[in-house]
Amino acid sequence: MIPELGNFALILALLVAVAQGTLPLAGAALGEPRLMALARPAARAQFLLVAGAFACLAASFVSNDFSVVNVATNSNSELPLHYRFAATWGSHEGSLLLWSLMLAGWTLAVSIFSRHLPPPLLARVISVMGLVSVGFLAFLLFTSNPFERLVPAAPEGRDLNPLLQDPGMVIHPPMLYMGYVGFSVAFAFAIAALLGGRLDATWARWSRPWTTVAWAFLTIGIALGSGWAYYTLGWGGWWFWDPVENASFMPWLTGTALIHSLAVTEKRGAFKSWTVLLAIVAFSLSLVGTFLVRSGVLTSVHAFATDPARGVFILVFLAIVIGGSLALFAYRAAKVGFGGGFSMVSRESMLLANNVLLVVAMASVLLGTLYPLFLDALNLGKISVGPPYFDAVFYPLMAPALFLMGVGPVARWTRAPLPELWVRLRWALGVAVAAALVAPFVLGRWSPLISLGLLLAFWIFASTAETLRARLAGSPRRAWIARLRSNSASYYGMLLAHFGLGVFVVGVTLVKGYEIERDVRLEPGQTVNVGDYEFRFVGVVPGPGPNYRALIGTVEVRKDAKLLETLHPEKRMYNASGQTMTIAAIDIGLRGDRYVSLGEPVGAGGADNAAGAWAVRIYLKPFIDWIWGGAFLMALGGFLAVSDRRYRLAIRRRTAAGWTDARGGAPAD
Amino acid sequence: MKPRTRRIGWIVAGLALLGVATALVLNAFRSNLVFFFTPTQVAAHEAPQGRAFRIGGLVEAGSLTREPNSLTVHFRVTDTAQTIAVSYTGLLPDLFKEGKGVVAQGTLAGDGTFHATEVLAKHDENYMPPAAADAVKQAHEAMSTRTLATTRGAHP
C-alpha cells in the first residue's frame, strides 16, 4: 500500500510540475498576473508530493518491504536502521528521487525567500525549475520507478553495497546533490533573465546568494566523498581523477568561475553574457555528472545500450536542456551584452583571466573523462586516461590561477596601476618566497614542486592578509574594531574562502611531497620503522559485527619508544553479499595522519590463517587533513558570504530599484 | 589605450592562453594514454615493449602463488584463449579472486611476463571490469566452439 501511495504521489507531482513549468511562464509572457501567481502554490504542492513519495520509499526501506524491487536489491533485514534509511538513496532509482526532492526543496526555498522578486521574474524562475522537474519525474516514472513491485516478494534483500555502509556515505550524496541541484536556481535565473531580456546588477544580486550556497554545498559534498575514499577504499588516496569524481569536479570548477563572474556582474555590471553562459554550463555539467554516474555508462558504454529506454531518455533530456538553453543564449546574448569597460590590468581582467583558466581546466577534465567513452562507444579501442594526464594538465593551469587569486582582491576595479600593485604586494611576495625556500628544509627534503606549492599557498595567505590590512589601515587606532565591523559579511566570506584554498594547497603540496607508503609483510609481534615512527603488529583476532564478521588487527604506533596510539584496522566479510571490505585505522593529527590497513593473510597456511603473518599497508600522510579542512573553510566562507545583510535589503528595495518588467508589473502576492 | 587596441589585446591574450592550454592537453594526452590489450593480442605481439599498458581477463583458477617472505605474487590472466603470466608486488585489492575478472597495468618483460605496477578489481562482487569482460568476449567470438564453462576448467 505504501509504495502505491508513493507512486501515486510521484504521478501527481509530475502533473503539478507540468502545470508549474508552463502556466506561470505563459503568464509572464502574456502579462497575466493570475497565471504568474500559480508559481508559488505549485512549488509548494510539488514539494509536498515529492517529499511524500520520498517518505514512502524511506518507509519501505525501514520496514524491510522486500516486495519492492528497489528495496530487495539494495537492503537487507540485518542492515542497521540508519543504513536502511540511507539505502533509500543508495540505488539509481532512489538517488534520482533524492535529486527530485532536492529540486523541489530548492524551488520551495526560492518561492519563500524570493517572494519579493518582480512577479514575472519569479514566475519564470519557478517555471524553469518546474520544467527541469518534469524531466526528472518523467525519467523516474517511465524508466526507473523506485516503487516497482516484485512478485513474489523476496524473502530477504540482497544488501546495500558494503562500501556505502558508512557514515560518510550517508551524508555525501545529499550534500553533493544539494550542490548539483542548487545550480538549477542559478540556471533558472539565467534562463528567466534571457527570456525577460533584462539582466543587470540587481539581477546578479538576486541570483548570487543561491549560487554561492549551491557552490558551498558542492564543496562539502566533494570533500566528504574524497574523505570517504581515503578511509574506506583502504589505499590512502584522496583523489583518483576517477570519472565519478570528475563528474562532480567539473560543475565545481564552473561554479567557482560563476560565483566570481556574478560578483563582477553585481559590482560593475560587466561580464553579463559570460555569467549567463557559465550558469547554463554549470547546471548542464551537473546534469551530465548525475547521468554519467547514474546511468551506468561509466561501468560500460555497452551497458548503456542494453537499456535503450534510459539511455535514449537521458540523451534526449540533456539535448533539450543544454541545447535549448544554449540556443536561447545564442538568440538573446547580444541583447544582454557583455557590459562594462576595463583596462588590461584591473580586478575585472584578473577575474576574467581566472574564469578562463577555470573553464579551460574544466574542459581538460571533460576531455579526459569523455574521450575514453567516445572511443569505446565507437569501438575504436580501449584506453584509459589516468592521473598522470590530469596532473600534467591541471597543475600548470591552476598555478597561474592561484597567483592571480592573490592579486585580484588587491587590484582596483576598472584600472589597477602596476606600480601600486607592486608596492602593496611586494612584502606578500617576500613572505611567500621566504616560506617557499625555508619551509622545505624545516620539513625535510627540498623539491621544486614542494617549493612551488608552498610559494603559492603562502602567496595566498600573505596577499589575503594584505587585503584585510588595507581595509583596516588609515583609521585611528581605537576605531579599528568599528572598522572591522563595517566590512560586509560577504567580504569576510571571500577572505575565508581564499584562506581555505591556501590551506588546501598546503595540504596537497605536503602530502604529495612527503608522504611515505610502505606495503609490508608482518608476523605477529614484528615491528617496522616508517619515517620517525615504529609500528608493532600485535596480531589479528576475529570480532563480531551487526551484519558482518570482522577480523580486527592491532597495531601499536610508537615514537621514541613512547606509545602514541593503538590502531585497529579491520577486514569485514558481509553476511548477505559475501563481499569483503577493508577498514583502515587512522591516527589523525594536524601535522599528519598515520594510516594502517590490512591486506590479506600471507603466512603459512594461506589465506585462512588469520593468526599468522599479514600483508599490511603503513602510510604516513603529512598534513593530509588540511585538504579537507581547507575545503570546509571554503564552504564556510561561502555560507558566511551569503549571510550578508545586503542580500536581504536588496530584496526589499526592489521597487526602489525600479525593477519592473515591461509586461506584467502587477504584484502577484 | 584605445578601445580597439584593448580589444585586440584581449583577443591576443585569450588566444595565447588557449594555445598554451591546447599544447599542454595534447602533450599530456599523447604521453599519458594507457592502451588496453587482451591476452590474445599480447600473445600475437601486438602490445608495445617497454611502454606501460593494461591487460584484462580472468585470473586463472589455481594459478595464484605467493613468494615466501615477500609480498610478491604470481598469477596468470586468461581470456580463455591465451594466458599471460603476471607478477606483482604489493597488496591485492579485496575483490581479487581466482576465476574473477581483473585488470592490471604494467609493462611486458623480455621473457613474456607482465610486470604489473597496479592491479585493479572493481567495487562490486557481481561486477566484472568491462575491459576484462570484453577480453573474454572477444576471445569467445574468435573461437566460438568452446564454452566458458569448459575453458575455465581447461587450464588446471
pLDDT digits (tens, 9 = 90+) for B59-116: 888 888 888 888 899 999 988 888 999 999 988 888 788 888 888 999 998 888 999 9
CA distance A119 to A666: 7
pLDDT of residue A339: 74
The cell numbers describing A372, all together, are 575514453
Is A7 a residue whose pLDDT tops 80? yes
pLDDT exceeds 80 at position A609: no
Cβ of A356 within 8 Å of Cβ of B9? The answer is: no
Res A133 pLDDT > 90: yes
Q: What is the pLDDT of residue B155?
A: 34
B126: pLDDT strictly greater than 60: no
Put simply, the answer to whether A600 touches B92 (Cβ < 8 Å) is yes
The radius of gyration of chain B's CA atoms, rounded to the nearest angstrom, is: 22
* Residue ranges of chain A assigned to CATH 1.20.120: 1-155
CB contact under 8 A, A615 and B71: yes
Q: How far apart are CA B97 and CA B119, in angstroms?
A: 12
What burial letters (b/e) apply to A216-247, b meaning 16+ CB within 10 Å?
A: bbbbbbbbbbbbbbbbbbbbbbbbbbebebbb
- Identity of the residue in A360, A520, A579 whose CB atom sits nearest the CB atom of B21: A360
Q: Is B24 found in the same domain as B58?
A: no
pLDDT, mean of residues B129-155: 53
Cβ A454 vs Cβ A402: under 8 Å: no
Q: Is the pLDDT of residue B12 over 90?
A: no
Tell me, yes or no, whether B46 and B85 share the same domain: yes
Nearest residue to B103 (alpha-carbon basis) of A233, A304, A300: A300
Range of the domain at B134: 36-154
pLDDT tens string A622-655: 999 999 999 999 999 999 999 888 777 655 554 4
Assess A360–B contact: CB distance below 8 Å, yes or no.
Answer: yes
DSSP secondary structure letters along B59-110: EPTT--EE-TTSSEEEEEEE-SS-EEEEEEESPPPTT--TTSEEEEEEEE-T
Indicate whether A511 pLDDT > 60.
yes
| One domain for residues B49 and B5 | no
Q: What is the C-alpha separation between A404 and A486, in angstroms, rounded? A: 27
| Tens of pLDDT, residues A50-63 | 999 999 999 999 99
CA distance B42 to B60: 16
Number of structural domains found in chain B:
2
Amino acid at A221: G
pLDDT at A660: 46
Chain A hits for B118, CB-CB cut-off 8 Å, are none
The answer to whether residue A306 scores a pLDDT higher than 70 is no
pLDDT number for residue A580: 85
Over 70: is that where the pLDDT of A391 sits? yes
Taking CB atoms and an 8 Å cutoff, what residues of chain A touch B130? 299-303
**pLDDT band (50, 70, 90) for residue A663:** very low
Cβ contact (<8 Å) for A393 and B3?
no
Residues of A in contact with B123 (CB under 8 A): 161, 163
pLDDT score, position B149: 34
According to DSSP, the residues that pair with B34 across neighbouring strands are: A384
Residue in chain A nearest B31 by alpha carbon = A389
Over residues A5-29, mean pLDDT: 96
The b/e string for B122-153 (b: 16+ C-beta within 10 A; e otherwise) is beebeebbbbbbbbbebbbeeeeeeeeeebee
Task: Please state which CATH number belongs to domain A1-155.
Answer: 1.20.120
Minimum mean pLDDT range among A15-19, A108-112, A372-376:
A372-376
Q: Phi/psi at A601 (nearest 5 deg)?
A: -70, 130
Confidence of residue B144 (pLDDT cuts 50, 70, 90): low
C-alpha A106/C-alpha A104 separation (Å) is 6
pLDDT at B127: 47
CB contact under 8 A, B17 and A299: no
A299–B127 C-beta distance less than 8 A = yes
User: Residue A384: its pLDDT value, please?
Assistant: 83
Which residue in the set B54, B70, B127 is minimally distant from A384, CB to CB? B54
The predicted pLDDT at position B73 comes to 92
Asked whether residue B12 falls in the same domain as residue B43, the answer is no
The verdict on a CB contact (< 8 Å) between B28 and A392 is yes
Is B8 in the same domain as B41? no
**Does one domain contain both B59 and B4?**
no
Residue of A161, A235, A385 lying closest to B32 (CB–CB) = A385
Q: Quick check: A433 pLDDT over 70?
A: yes
A-chain residues near B32 (CB < 8 A): 385-386, 388-389, 392
| CATH number, domain with residue B78 | 2.40.50.140
Hunting for cell 509504495 — which residue is that? A3
Task: Please say whether the beta carbons of A301 and A373 come within 8 A.
Answer: yes
Q: Are residues B15 and B60 in the same domain?
A: no
Report how far residue B126's alpha carbon sits from residue A444's, in angstroms, rounded to the nearest whole number: 46
Total CB pairs under 8 A between chain A and B: 103
Report A:250-309 residues touching B (Cβ under 8 A): 299-303
A556 touches chain B (CB under 8 A): no
pLDDT of residue A473: 74
- Among residues A41, A31, A23, A90, the alpha carbon closest in space to that of A61 is found at A90
How far off is chain B from A71, nearest CA to CA, in Å?
A: 18
* Cβ–Cβ below 8 Å for B17 and A356: yes
B140 and B77 part of one domain: yes
- pLDDT score, position A666: 36
Neighbours of A509 (CB within 10 A): 26
Contact B71 A234 (CB under 8 A): no
Q: Is A606 left (phi over 0), alpha (psi -120 to 50) or beta?
A: left
Q: Are residues B9 and B23 in the same domain?
A: yes
Per-residue pLDDT, averaged over A469-489, amounts to 75
Q: Please determine, for residue A661, whether its predicted confidence score (pLDDT) is greater than 60.
A: no
Q: Do A617 and B10 touch (CB under 8 A)?
A: no
Q: ipTM value, please give it.
A: 0.77
- Alpha-carbon distance B134 to nearest alpha carbon in chain A (angstroms): 10
DSSP B48: P
- B9 and B75 in a single domain? The answer is no
Q: Which residues contact A401 (CB under 8 A, 6 or more apart)?
A: A354, A357, A358, A361
Helix/strand/coil for A165: coil
Q: What is the mean pLDDT of residues A341-345?
A: 78
d(CA A2, CA A5): 5
Q: Nearest-CA distance from B72 to chain A in Å?
A: 10
Stretch 304-333 of chain A: residues touching chain B, C-beta under 8 Å: none
Distance (Å) from the C-alpha of residue A276 to the closest C-alpha of chain B? 20
Name the residue among A263, A317, A268 with its Cα closest to residue A290.
A317
Average pLDDT for residues B33-41, to the nearest whole number? 87
Q: Residue A610: is its pLDDT beyond 90?
A: no
Say whether domain A516-621 belongs to CATH 2.60.98.
yes
CA–CA distance, A261 with A398 (Å, rounded to integer): 17
From A389, A521, A579, residue closest to B28, measured CB to CB:
A389
Most confident of the following: A371-375, A588-592, A601-605: A588-592
Do A580 and B127 count as a contact with CB atoms less than 8 A apart? no
Q: Which residues of B touch A (CB under 8 A)?
A: 1, 3, 6, 9-10, 13-14, 17-18, 21, 24-25, 27-29, 31-36, 54, 66, 69-71, 89-92, 94-95, 123-125, 127, 130-131, 133-134
- Is A656's Cβ below 8 Å from some Cβ in B? no
pLDDT of residue A653: 53
